[in-house]
Structure 1
Amino acid sequence: MRVAIYFTPPAGAELTRRAGEWLGRSAFDGEATREPEIALDALTSEPARYGFHATMKAPFRLAEAADLEELDARLAAFCASRDPVTIANLKVAQLGPFFAFVPETAPPALGELEEAVVRAFEPLRAALTEEEYQRRHPERLSEKERENLKTWGYPHVFDAFRFHMTLTGPVAPERQDEARERIAEHFGNLDGQPLTIDQLAIFLEPERGAPFRVHSLHRFRPQG
């Protein structure tokens, strides 16, 4: 079993609904959200397994002395102490061969939140095995990213963090225009809307390679 701490909008949000239809499954109930479509499934099979999310602490095995109940309680307390963070403009962008929703301008509070999550829950993470380390292809990483991987279990933390909500796997160059058009058609006016980060979720992978499911959601403290 692995767990991850992700942001995802509420199950009933329009962005969540359309993203689920795009990916073909909902991480909230694990159910299919549309009929299979070979061309679209080829684009979305990788992110569909993880569900629509933004990574705050990447998937990890729990340390021997920790359990899911403790993680749940600690995340509930953490979220109850945090203020929401608003992204003024969430837009579709191409990140190398991938497409994702990203902030047009990331507020400093977003990076501060990610760092706080990574540090707060590090004591509950089991150290990477050599197999897990090699699965991240350390030879492709920068020296700093390899250092992050060894220390924090994930290369893209702190200065290397970039908030993104993945929509596709790698898209071949000859298909990128088509993918861009399909994304624009599907998400329409949601491209460019604000997004408030006001909850975090525990996503659960029951066994390696299985689809991730939302285990629990914890709201930030109310405003006003």
Structure 2
Amino acid sequence: MKVHRLALYWAPEPDDPLHAAGSAWLGRDAGTGAALAQPALPGHDIAEITADPRGYGLHATLKPPFRPLHGYAAARDAAAALVARLAPFDLPPLAVHDLDGFLALRETIPCPPLHRFAEACVEALDAHRAPPTEAEIARRRPERLTVAQRMNLERWGYPYVFGEWRFHVTLTRRLTAEEKEAALPAVTRFLGTAPSRPRRVAALSIFVQPGPGEPFTIAERLPLGG
């Protein structure tokens, strides 16, 4: 498979109510690539405020998007070898939060296995990551990053890994106070009880981007424990 970029994400299973509800909120199913009707958000353009996360699909980032250095098959084999030695674990209930101006689903209690999962993904696939270009580095605005984040950017190609990583399922772009006042209760109502339901992290999802600017879709779900 020839891809422009791939990423390692957590995504709800297809039969998880969160997959259907979250995908409808964003307006696209990352599993099928199909466009979905979005709920109304009176006074605001829901398609516009969800445009950025819609392109990436409903997910939480484990290893951020990267250009595969040795091709998709080699990266996929490395991911398969990784998940074969990882055991499934319980994900805490999720809830909608304001994350630095973005609305996102976050875990409601700490989950150390989740952090170990993300760290393992970053490390295990790093040999398959092509180095970022100068333009890609500049887009991260390194002058605004902390020392730790700049070091991560230089070493891992992304600022928000390891100690800087926070689990989040992005639901909007960064919002104004007025937009947040409308969107926060709206998305909370729309998702209902789906985020807080018990669920297992039992698979790693490989998302792929066929070409620059194109939306990401789920290429494979690799089960933990083989």
Residue 82 of structure 1: CA displacement? 0.9
Are 1:43 and 2:49 matched, yes or no?
A: yes
Match of 1:120 among 116, 124, 134: 124
For 1:14 and 1:193, the matched residues in 2 are separated by 9
Are 1:206 and 2:210 matched, yes or no?
A: yes
Residue 74 of structure 1: CA displacement? 1.9
Residue 163 of structure 1: CA displacement? 0.6
Unaligned runs of 5+ in 1: none
Length-normalised TM-score, structure 1: 0.93
Residue 168 of structure 1: CA displacement? 0.7
CA contact (8 A) 1:52 1:165 kept: yes
- Show CA shifts across 1:4-34 (max 9, x none): 1111111222100101100000111111111
Residue 167 of structure 1: CA displacement? 0.7
Are 1:77 and 2:77 matched, yes or no?
A: no
Are 1:15 and 2:21 matched, yes or no?
A: no
CA contact (8 A) 1:148 1:157 kept: yes
CA contact (8 A) 2:26 2:38 kept: no
Length-normalised TM-score, structure 2: 0.92
For 2:38 and 2:87, the matched residues in 1 are separated by 39
Moved over 3 A (4+): 35-38
Secondary structure (helix, strand or coil) at the match of 1:58 reads strand
- Show CA shifts across 1:100-123 (max 9, x none): 110111211111111111111100
Q: Which moved more, 1:166-175 or 1:190-199?
A: 190-199
- Show CA shifts across 1:48-80 (max 9, x none): 0000001010000111xx111111122122112
Are 1:172 and 2:176 matched, yes or no?
A: yes
For 1:193 and 1:92, the matched residues in 2 are separated by 13
Are 1:29 and 2:32 matched, yes or no?
A: yes
Residue 198 of structure 1: CA displacement? 1.1
For 1:9 and 1:188, the matched residues in 2 are separated by 15
Unaligned runs of 5+ in 2: none
Residue 35 of structure 1: CA displacement? 5.7
- Show CA shifts across 1:134-156 (max 9, x none): 01111221111011011001101
Question: Matched residues, percent identical?
Answer: 35
Q: Which moved more, 1:177-186 or 1:50-59?
A: 177-186
**Partner of 1:192 in structure 2?**
196
For 2:110 and 2:140, the matched residues in 1 are separated by 26
**2:67 is matched by which residue type in structure 1?**
R
CA contact (8 A) 1:90 1:195 kept: no
**2:161 is matched by which residue type in structure 1?**
V
